[in-house]
Structure 1
Amino acid sequence: MVDDGRAAAVSEAFRQIGTPTRGGIVCTADHASNHVPADIDLGIPASLLDEHIAIDIGTEAIAQILAREYAIPAHIAAVSRLVCDLNREESAPGLVPEISDGHAIPGNIGADRAARLARFYRPYHSALGEWLAAAQPALILSLHSFTPRLETSDAARPWEVGVLYNRDDRAARIAIPLLEAEGLIVGDNLPYSGRDLNYTMNRHAEDEGRAYVGVELRQDLTQMPDDQARWAALLAKIAQRVASDLR
């Protein structure tokens, strides 16, 4: 059973809320935080830390609700992706981004990548790997959010929710029609493809044979507390149906 909402584990790179039940459902949120440690200067206006380039808006609150109200424990990033993008391969240029959606990040130019990997990236993934190995969950819900449009493009993104996957689409094939049945406009590997960007789930789910649903929520629908509560309730229901159907 999930605990009363206190963090089960916490570090500079992540926090965990709730205690997984073996064979249950868990949630990950790689981009849930906009925190920048005091000793790191990104050289950007503070206002950008509230934008998508720094954080997946709404995901932290939704993950917390899932853990505290629906017994779906969460492993949540505690640092902004502008400091270290935890959903990238170690060698990816964007792991310590020098530019994001048209915005320069001057403080990352010449940054010590090895130090960021050691301080944030490896602790996050080591803890996640140990957490999942102990839980052996029936399903991982990977939670992200996306902008209605990119700042560098005028093209609208009409999907209200996207389901992402790479090679393993077992859970996605169940989740997509369930979400559509709720009256939602659902992107099948959209607004971008999990075949291109899926590192955390590639490593901790696909490589380990664990079923997962990669969910992207459109950010204009995730900003208010009532919206976050609705999404948490819906995702809990969908995840439970998917996990049941996979058995």
Structure 2
Amino acid sequence: MDHGRAAAVSEVFRQLGTPTPGGIVLVADHASNAVPADIDLGIPEHLLHEHIALDIGTEAIAEFLAREYTIPAHIAAVSRLVCDLNREETAPGLVPPESDGHPIPGNFGADREARLARFHRPYHTALEQWLEAARPRLILSLHSFTPRLATSEAARPWEVGVLYNADDRAARIAIPLLAAEGLNVGDNLPYSGRDLNYTMNRHAEAPGRPYLGIELRQDLTNTPEAHARWAALLAKIAQRVASALR
């Protein structure tokens, strides 16, 4: 079975590999910086390659995990600046008018309902159906974070963060495992999953599916060597967590 092949593709998501019931699957909400041709965000091109547009490195790591470690993936295919798929439908930042101090002029007065109907709802409907069919033992939720926000003086020294809301079953297992690898691990840092966790709240916490929310620091996720290294480490940790949850 080719777990790296694209099982399903749309404007808003890609699915790689075929889930096995009782296995591990991966979800990457902010993996893409793609902007549809009919949407003009009104920002300089270089901003599409920075953290405000995507979670740097997550797409390549997710592809590596699907291809080399048979961990199927549901991967966003549109930039968070077009529609933030990890936000509630009513959240102000769903169609962000600014991000980390940068105005997004093309989103001023944007039709939120149109963005919801075109991007947000199809993404989550497909993810819900995929997870229902997959019946996974563990969901790996993959994000990455900038070492320093332009709008904050605070450094973010953690190399990896583990995020969770009310369900910390997988987090409690994973945090010491990651620390044992010599990593500086954030426990609900660099921000709290109790504040920002929409996709996992909806698709994991609500139906009772265990999940491991991972945030990787972006200066450690920007080379092919780093992608391979993180994929190997996350596959090992996720497998250990899934086994411990049995």
Counterpart mapping for 1:129-168 below 5 A:
129-168=128-167
Which residue is 2:51 aligned to? 52
Distance 1:10 1:215 in 2: 24
Query: What SS is found at the alignment partner of 1:205?
Result: helix
The count of aligned residue pairs is 246
Distance 1:232 1:120 in 2: 28
Distance 2:93 2:141 in 1: 20
Identity over aligned residues, as a percent?
A: 83
Counterpart mapping for 1:184-199 below 5 A:
184-199=183-198
Which residue is 2:210 aligned to? 211
- Structure 1 residue 6: Cα displacement: 1.9
Distance 1:188 1:148 in 2: 16
Unaligned runs of at least 5 residues, structure 1: none
Matched, 1:85 2:84: yes
Which residue is 1:18 aligned to? 17
Distance 2:13 2:20 in 1: 20
Distance 1:6 1:113 in 2: 33
Q: State TM-score, norm by structure 1.
A: 0.99
Which residue is 1:101 aligned to? 100
- Per-residue CA deviation, residues 62-120 of structure 1 (Å, 9 max, x unaligned), is 00000010010000000000000000000001000001000000100110111111111
Which residue is 2:36 aligned to? 37
Which residue is 1:242 aligned to? 241
| Greater than 3 Å deviation, 4+ residue runs | none
Check conservation: 2:3, 2:71, Cα contact below 8 A.
no
Which amino acid in the other structure matches residue 27 of structure 2? T
Distance 1:6 1:170 in 2: 31
Which amino acid in the other structure matches residue 234 of structure 1? L
Query: What SS is found at the alignment partner of 1:34?
Result: coil
Which residue is 2:230 aligned to? 231
Distance 2:118 2:66 in 1: 26
Unaligned runs of at least 5 residues, structure 2: none
- Structure 1 residue 4: Cα displacement: 4.9
Which residue is 1:117 aligned to? 116
Which residue is 2:66 aligned to? 67
Which amino acid in the other structure matches residue 188 of structure 1? D
- Per-residue CA deviation, residues 173-204 of structure 1 (Å, 9 max, x unaligned), is 00000000000000000000000000000000
